[in-house]
Structure 1
């Protein structure tokens, strides 16, 4: 099953940014949206998470239609935005408790899972810190811990590597691979094509609001006669 986006049209202020976009994200796979700025990646995300209304088309995950049953659709989803969204007055521990409580998961078992993630991202000694004391990278790690604690079957992640140090990047890739091995589906955006080619199953190339190609990194590289380590040159 997984995520199915079919013939999606949508955008802003009555203007279609997305034109007949069809994308599949099978269970057990990581799919990355790629393209230049303005290609429609963030707009696609806003429609998938239900932030923007769909003009026409379908967004379905595990047979649950976003338009027909938005609550049930969103219950399956964990979203990590490009810019971290934190509450100034809440400590790190309070953020995690709030996130778990909002999903009915604020129990000892799930707190232990969250703590393990905090250890992974070296935040376990900062439980009483406020967001104003966190760097951009640390704020991003808080968002990652919150999202991965939910163990949602669908994860939507916008530019996850921005601001992360090398160790955190490696930890994130490992977490995503573990999630997909357990059957989860991940849709992300990234500009780091050469790095992403090592772990994503498929790239979806968006160009001016349309899907130009959906293929594995190896297939895309072969078609454009470049190596995987040269994937960053795809748009040049």
Structure 2
């Protein structure tokens, strides 16, 4: 079942200055779609466009009615005055999750990501890796049907990376659709079902690994072979 359909004609941070264009893809329940490309290719800008966060965009981004989603940004974002546990309480309240349920889920996730001893501390005192793990906890708390993740492995140590990959598999098995934006191509090739290749703000190829490699003219190769050398202005 398709739960997200994206068709971006063009978009950017100001009218008349197109940063991304001609990008279309869909995400299905129980599938991981990897949005790949080099740094500055336009992946994060595409995510902002599909979430309605670009000041200028022509096109559509439609989430199926009733589908809940969570977003993990590339740079962790917290309220300075709230502890990590207070963030969990805030998310539980906003999402109307019964207290007993969000407390149980929150404690389980904090233990899983080894943050339980830091639950009542301010995230501003955390390392970058701990902040990233905290964002993962908050995103998974709601058991979303669609999970949007921008560069999930930045700042994570090997153990946290393994935990994140295990969580992605669990979410996929639960039936969630996942968009994972990353330039860690060997990991993407191993875990994703489909791909969208972005370069210089436009889509070069999309589909399964075999379809993407064929479209890129790199059959028998790897995702690394699909990424051309970057030239010109960097995007986000």
- TM-score tier, shorter chain, comes to 0.7 to 0.9
**Which of these residues, 17, 37, 46, is aligned with residue 44 of structure 1?**
46
Measure how far apart 1:163 and its partner are.
0.5
Q: Is the 8 A contact 1:30 1:185 kept in 2?
A: yes
Q: Is the 8 A contact 2:83 2:119 kept in 1?
A: yes
User: What RMSD, in angstroms, separates the aligned Cα atoms of the two structures?
Assistant: 2.0
Counterpart residue number, 1:69: none
**Which of these residues, 70, 84, 87, is aligned with residue 92 of structure 1?**
84
**Which of these residues, 55, 58, 83, is aligned with residue 56 of structure 1?**
58
**1:100–1:8 distance in 2 versus 1, CA, 3 Å:** farther
Counterpart residue number, 2:21: 19
Q: TM-score with structure 1 length normalisation?
A: 0.87
Which moves more between the two structures, 51-60 or 18-27? 51-60
Q: Is the 8 A contact 1:97 1:106 kept in 2?
A: no
Q: Is the 8 A contact 1:31 1:202 kept in 2?
A: yes
Q: Is the 8 A contact 1:88 1:130 kept in 2?
A: yes
Mark the runs of 5 or more structure 2 residues left unpaired by the alignment: 230-236
Q: Aligned with 1:42: secondary structure?
A: helix
Q: Is the 8 A contact 1:23 1:204 kept in 2?
A: yes
Which moves more between the two structures, 2-11 or 183-192? 2-11
Distance in 2 of aligned mates of 1:28 and 1:35 = 23
- The residue correspondences of 1:146-185 to structure 2 (distance < 5 A) are 146-185=138-177
Q: Is the 8 A contact 1:80 1:147 kept in 2?
A: yes
Could you report, residue by residue, the CA deviation over 1:213-232 in whole angstroms, capped at 9, with x for unpaired residues? 0122344456514544xx44
Distance in 2 of aligned mates of 1:227 and 1:114 = 42
Q: Is the 8 A contact 2:34 2:194 kept in 1?
A: yes
Distance in 2 of aligned mates of 1:143 and 1:29 = 21
**1:126–1:7 distance in 2 versus 1, CA, 3 Å:** closer
Counterpart residue number, 1:198: 190
Q: TM-score with structure 2 length normalisation?
A: 0.87
Mark the runs of 5 or more structure 1 residues left unpaired by the alignment: 65-71
- The residue correspondences of 1:74-89 to structure 2 (distance < 5 A) are 76-89=68-81
Which moves more between the two structures, 76-85 or 100-109? 100-109
Could you report, residue by residue, the CA deviation over 1:79-99 in whole angstroms, capped at 9, with x for unpaired residues? 110000112222111111112
**Which of these residues, 137, 147, 150, is aligned with residue 145 of structure 1?**
137
Q: Is the 8 A contact 2:70 2:148 kept in 1?
A: yes
Distance in 1 of aligned mates of 2:39 and 2:146 = 25
1:34 aligns with 2:36: yes
Measure how far apart 1:233 and its partner are.
4.8
Q: Aligned with 2:190: secondary structure?
A: coil
Counterpart residue number, 1:135: 127
**1:4–1:190 distance in 2 versus 1, CA, 3 Å:** same
